[in-house]
Amino acid sequence: MAAFCAVLSLGSGRCARRMLRWPRASARVSIRTAAHFTFQADPEPTEYGPTQKMNLFQSVHSALDNTLAKDPSAVIFGEDVAFGGVFRCTVGLRDKYGKDRVFNTPLCEQGIVGFGIGVAVAGATSIAEIQFADYIFPAFDQIVNEAAKYRYRSGDLFDCGSLTIRAPWGCVGHGALYHSQSPEAFFAHCPGVKVVIPRSPIQAKGLLLSCIEDQNPCIFFEPKILYRAAVEQVPVEPYHIPLSQAEILQEGSDVTLLSWGTQVHVVREVADMAQEKLGLSCEVIDLRTILPWDIETVCKSVTKTGRLLISHEAPVTGGFASEISSTVQEECFLNLEAPIARVCGYDTPFPHMFEPFYIPDKWKCFDALKKMMNY
């Protein structure tokens, strides 16, 4: 028997201590050890040369290493990046390339991005790290009112297009309200920046290198739950994956499933479940670039299938699924066989102990899919 001490508040304001006893078995707290998704690796690419087994943080490290080796003007900076960062994405780079090219900053996101803009305007390749996407908000003004508008307000005399902002993003299983957020929709409302989210190590390296070399400031969100959980054979040499091009991972004819980042692996499982349990053929699309997004690929798919389910971790109200839904409704109205479904996070702060209930897991997506098919 295990004894628990409960403090009960009495009406008189006094506290009474009572010993309450429960069987030890009922006092055990169950620990959730399984992730809400199963990572599905892509086939080993053959067109980019030799490959090496890497997880996602190692593929990001490889992209940064390639950039520093190729571009003598490239600099990496942020909180704790000199020793490798909290997720080890920059480990060893200061020793390899010097403290003038990989260095720490004060704990000031507004200052990190403001400095990054200045470095980019001066002509260097500027790679800023925000330690968690949840803490990008102090830099919101610098991103939205400075970086995004620099070229426009100067009539193209000046720009900070060589600025890339990296940030770990999304839920991780235990991050709670300050280490689990998905803020991509805030920046999707801002012309002048590009917003990119990869689903895997192969995608992460190719898309990050494309962001770094793009002539517009880019925000690159990295799904932190995949840093170690996702492992693929990644090309060692530099390669590029085009921005603003969605990828069709699985062709289908009955319904289109659209997502990005970690949630791609959730909807891939949903597609398998739909095939096995309902005999449905699902088309699965990874959007990859949030802004500017690939309207043509998505609308072409929905025109074919007649149904669309969009899923993301961020809250449903004002989430980027709303923009996609609105655009598809305008472009594909006569082809739709059912209302567009959005399976997203709730309109609450991201919870800690209730994360399993908050996440738009495969069962929520599968239930929404069945409702669409029965419409």
d(CA 245, CA 257): 16
61, 79, 109, 129: the catalytic one is 109
DSSP one-letter string for 245-256:
--EEEE--SSEE
* Residue 205 and residue 52 in contact, taking contact as beta carbons nearer than 8 Å: no
Beta bridge partners of 51: 235
61, 179, 265, 312: the catalytic one is 179
Number of Cβ within a 10 Å radius of residue 48: 16
Active site residue 174: no
Active site residue 179: yes
d(CA 116, CA 129): 10
Beta bridge partners of 21: 3
Beta bridge partners of 257: 284, 309
d(CA 363, CA 270): 8
* Residue 163 and residue 126 in contact, taking contact as beta carbons nearer than 8 Å: yes
In degrees and rounded to multiples of 5, residue 276 shows phi and psi of -75, -45
d(CA 255, CA 247): 16
d(CA 138, CA 150): 19
Structure tokens of 83? Answer: 């020793």
Structure tokens of 243? Answer: 């921005």
- Active site residues per annotation: 109, 179
